[in-house]
Amino acid sequence: MNTTIPEDPKPQVPAPAIVLGTAGLLPFLFLTGLWLTGADTIATVARQALLAYSIAILSFLGAVHWGLAMTAAPGEQPWRRYFVSVLPALAATATAFIGGGLQFLWLAACLFGLLLYDLYAVKQGEAPDWYPRLRWPLTIAVCVCLMAAALR
């Protein structure tokens, strides 16, 4: 008689990650709504806030990989991981040199590209198995907000 409990094939996303990740989506929804429906002054402020918040989040998601690289095994030289972790901040900074709605499309493309790297990192054992289950829905929602903002 086998009394071992089988491992859950889909590890649970930690509750704090779900709650805070979802809370981090709220400014995207709110600011995109204001940008699309607000009066000129409100819309202008919402647009700038949406850009600033998007830039901050892109940089934050890159920093996740810096933190993961810091936990590398002793003797491992995680150069690639550190290098990739700073690329989102550089890409976010490049937003200042892009005009109009292309800024939002650029940020959406960067966030989606980073999601693809996140999936690679999970397959390499460099990020937790649950990470894609958190990132997919949040990234899709954010990209929809940014693409909607680009259309205005």
SS (H, E, C) 6-61: CCCCCCCCCHHHHHHHHHHHHHHHHHHHHHHHCCHHHHHHHHHHHHHHHHHHHHHH
Residue 6 in any domain: the answer is: no
Rounded average pLDDT per 10-residue block, the chain, 152 residues:
60 96 98 92 94 98 96 88 96 94 97 98 96 97 96 86
Residue 5 in any domain: the answer is: no
Residue 122 in any domain: the answer is: yes
Q: What is the pLDDT of residue 39?
A: 87
The range of the structural domain enclosing residue 61 comes to 15-151
Residue 48 in any domain: the answer is: yes
Q: How many domains does the chain have?
A: 1
The overall pTM is greater than 0.75: yes
Residue 101 in any domain: the answer is: yes
Residue 10 in any domain: the answer is: no
Tell me the CA distances in angstroms from 100 to 51, 61, 103, 107, 141, one per residue in order.
Answer: 11, 24, 6, 12, 21
Residue 100 in any domain: the answer is: yes
* 124-151 pLDDT tens trace: 999 999 999 999 999 999 999 999 999 9
Q: What is the pLDDT of residue 12?
A: 95
What angle (nearest 5°) sits at the alpha carbon of residue 147, between those of residues 144 and 151? 135
Q: What is the pLDDT of residue 11?
A: 87
